[in-house]
Amino acid sequence: MSDLFSATILTAVVIAALKMATPLLISAMGELVAQRAGIWNMAVEGTMLIAAYAAYVVVVLTQSPGLALAAAVLAALLTGAINGLLCVVLKLDQFVTGLALNLLAAGLTLFWFRAGLQGEGVPTFRSLSPIVEGPFAGLYPMMFVALLAVPLIWWFLERTRPGLELRCLGENPEALDLRGVDVRRGQILSLLFASAMTGLGGGFLMLAFSDRFVPDFTGGRGWLVVVAILAGNWRPGRVLVAVLFFALLEALAIQSRVGSSLLPEQLLLAAPYLLSLALMAVFRSTSLEPAALGIPYRRR
Amino acid sequence: MRLTPRSERAIAWTLGCYAAAVVAFLMLSGLLVLSVGGSPQAAFSALLTGALGGKAAIGNTLAKATPLLLTGLAAAIAFRARIWSIGQEGQMVFGAITGYGAVLWLGLSGPAGIVVALVAGMMGGAALGLVSGVLDVRFKINVIISTVLLNYCVGYLLSWLLQPGVWGDVGQTVSYQQSAALADSLYLPLLPGLAKVHLGAVLALVLTVVVGVTLGRTRLGFEIRGFGLNPRAMVARGVDAGRLVLVVMAASGALAGLAGIGHVLGETHRLRPDALAGFGYTGIVVALIGRSSAPGTLAAALFFGGLAAGGLTMRVVADIPSSLVTAMQGIALIAFLLAEIASGYRLVLPVREEGTPA
């Protein structure tokens, strides 16, 4: 472990952790909004995967990371729209629609990837590049977007009237309905927002982390987002802490692959999952889960 | 024209809804084939030949359906109690690990080794199911979350176990992990006349009957169904909700664990992550399409087994990636769910009355 604490490695680990945290955090801030509005979006993993694939295809075709990010967001919005149609309009179980979309996303991306829709051979790839000079060298502009999203989402949820209404969607949709607020519209909009944010995260994951798409590219990061929201007890600040913690563990796991470490890599990779179970077990009494989370709203 | 809820189901309308779902399923799958420049007709005919064309194809279908039937049953009993466990994937892999580990540790071979492996596999799966059950009952941790988390943990555990020096086979590469092969005497016997179909298929069928009878005809089954429909009413009747969750999670885990170790002893004869991956998640879809009933799950498992077997032929004959099958499963689930919803509604044609503005 000694070489882990030398200054250069420590800096590398912190930068890597911030980079890992970026897609998780962007997606988590979106999903937090959807969950506070009462939507258990289980399709985060699939949405992120579809977005990453869309970013990949577009960046290979156009060599433009900007267009690729836009494609990622669009693909995610489409996934979110389908989910909204199924679970908000048709009131199918949110758990079931989420799983169906995850399966569809895994199947579609794998199928198109194997069929070589992105062209033959190893594609040339222009990825997002980090800031080169100055005090922020090595960091990505998207990191600041992600970090800024946390206070913004907190301010929106806790300090604005639409934010209050949105929270009410998750706590007591009937009260809003009685006051003439369109529950369905609010929930669909929040689901679309969540999907777009996850799309942005998935696009960043593709463009900043890798030079090619591989099957199951997201590898459980979407689920980690859902876990971060639970472990963070539905509060933006705590979700941020959970995400940073997961990202640090993942950065350490990667470091342990390069250097030597006392702990096996697999244990470090599994650590976010194990530790969040422990965290949730300890802090269960203070759960701030929205009361109507996951219950399709039906007028009585 | 508009849709209004109907009080009771009409058979013709229901059949029509499901027929429309099948047509939509085939059309969307065909569009996918077109999207990669293939011929839907060639793809589907290869798929059908691979699934049902002759004895070997039917054997393949049954072999592919076997683990799916077990993970499907595992999901079905949990879903009947409205316990949203998605831990079948992890429990299945964990069952494979504990079963394989047990024979390795005890140094057993022959029929005794097979029995020990199967029992250890079921116990492993049940134990992991119980972990999620306890986390739910004792610590109020959402079952969806704990099962997903444990799925990933088991994945990492298997990857760690398959390192060289632990269980990893000699000469394997980093990207392709597998354990050493089991002794021939530990292979599950194949059924005569049907290539690839092993004793696990018979076990799975027997368990389908057991699950069906338990759910339909026993007190436990009544409690499980009642708990799914109205947990409060069941608690008011004196049912111990915590105990019921634990029983269901253990039984569900045991079935999933058997799927894993059965596949190892019957087909792969060694631990291979890629050969196990997906049975648990697909089993969830199998249960959902089978409406979480034993016969429905059997039918859905056979359908998905046929898709999987046909997918391989489709790749060879029509040069369409077999991963089309995964996408088709997702489409099938969504089409089926929509049909289920639609069958609860009726189409009302607008009747314009005299004197009222349209």
**B160 in contact with A at a CB cutoff of 8 Å?**
yes
Q: Which residue of B has its CA nearest to A86?
A: B338
Pairwise CB contact (< 8 Å): A223 & B140: no
Are residues B96 and B163 both part of a single domain? yes
Q: Are B250 and B191 contained in the same domain?
A: yes
Which residues are registered as beta bridge partners of B347? B3
The partner residues of B4 in beta bridges, in order of sequence, read: B346
Domain assignment of residue B16, yes or no: yes
- Interface predicted TM-score (ipTM) of this complex, two decimals: 0.85
B101 and B250 inside one domain: yes
Q: Could you tell me if B238 and B138 lie in one domain? A: yes
In angstroms, the Cα distances linking A175 to A38, A185, A237, A292 are 14, 15, 28, 12
The proportion of chain B whose per-residue pLDDT surpasses 90, expressed as a percent, equals 66
Single out the residue of B226, B281, B310, B294 nearest to residue B44, CA to CA: B310
CATH number of the domain within which B290 lies: 1.10.3470
* B144 shares its domain with B19: no
Taking CA A205 as the corner, what is the angle to CA A129 and CA B281, rounded to the nearest 5 degrees? 165
Query: B315-353, pLDDT tens digit by residue?
Result: 999 888 888 998 999 899 999 989 988 888 877 776 655
A43 close to A76: Cβ distance less than 8 angstroms: no
User: What is d(CA A36, CA A187) in angstroms, rounded to the nearest whole number?
Assistant: 10
pLDDT band at B354 (very low <50, low <70, confident <90, very high): low
Higher pLDDT, A212 or B292: B292
What is the pLDDT, as a whole number, of residue A155?
97
B41 lies in some domain: no
Do B152 and B18 sit in the same domain of this protein?
Answer: no
Residues A247/A24, Cβ–Cβ less than 8 Å? yes
Same domain, B205 and B276: yes
CB contact under 8 A, B148 and A223: yes
Query: Residues B29, B100: one domain?
Result: no
Which positions in chain B touch A217 (Cβ < 8 Å)? none
Give residue-wise pLDDT tens across range B273-282.
Answer: 988 988 999 9
* Residue of chain B with shortest Cα separation from A117: B36
pLDDT at B10 over 90: no
CA dist., res. B101 & res. B260, Å (int): 13
Residue B181: φ, ψ to 5°: -75, 150
Domain map (residue ranges) of chain A: 14-286
* Residue A154 Cα distances to A159, A191, A201, A222, A261, angstroms: 8, 17, 19, 21, 38
Where does A14-286 sit in CATH, by number? 1.10.3470
Q: Which of A103, A267, A270 sits opposite B329 (nearest CB)?
A: A103
Best mutation target, B68, B160, B319, B326, to test chain A (most A CBs within 10 A): B326
- Contact state of A92 with B152 under an 8 Å Cβ cutoff: no
Q: Are A265 and A255 in contact (CB under 8 A)?
A: no
Handedness of CA A256, A257, A259, A260 (dihedral sign): positive
Q: Among all residues of chain A, which has the CA nearest to that of B323?
A: A111
Q: Are residues B270 and B129 in the same domain?
A: yes
Which of chain A's residues have a Cβ under 8 Å away from the Cβ of B277?
A: none
> Tell me: the pLDDT tens digits for B39-97?
999 999 999 999 998 899 999 999 999 999 999 999 999 999 999 999 999 999 999 99
B174: in domain: yes
B114 shares its domain with B168: yes
For B121, the domain range is 53-318
| Same domain membership, residue B130 and residue B19 | no
The pLDDT of residue B241 = 92
Instruction: Say whether both B118 and B237 belong to one domain.
Output: yes
Q: How far apart are CA B286 and CA B292, in angstroms?
A: 8
Domain membership of residue B227 (yes or no) is yes
pLDDT at B163 over 80: yes
CA distance A126 to chain B (A): 25
Q: What is the pTM of this model?
A: 0.89
Residues in A touching B292 (Cβ below 8 Å): none
Residue A106, sorted as left (phi over 0), alpha (psi -120 to 50) or beta, turns out to be alpha
Does the distance separating the beta carbons of A276 and B36 come in below 8 Å?
Answer: no
Number of domains comprising chain B: 2
- Using CA atoms, how far apart are residues B240 and B11, in angstroms rounded to an integer? 38
**Percent of chain B clearing pLDDT 70 (strictly above):** 95
Q: Is B324 within 8 Å of chain A by CB?
A: yes
Interface contact flag, B321 A110, Cβ < 8 Å: yes
Q: Does A101 touch chain B (CB under 8 A)?
A: yes
Touching check for B279 and chain A: CB below 8 Å? Answer: no
Residues in chain A, pLDDT under 50: 1
Q: Do A284 and B142 touch (CB under 8 A)?
A: no
Q: Is residue B357 part of a domain?
A: no
Question: In the prediction, which pLDDT does B175 show?
Answer: 60
User: What is the full DSSP assignment across B183-230?
Assistant: PGGGSPPBPTTSTT-BHHHHHHHHHHHHHHHHHHHSHHHHHHHHHHH-
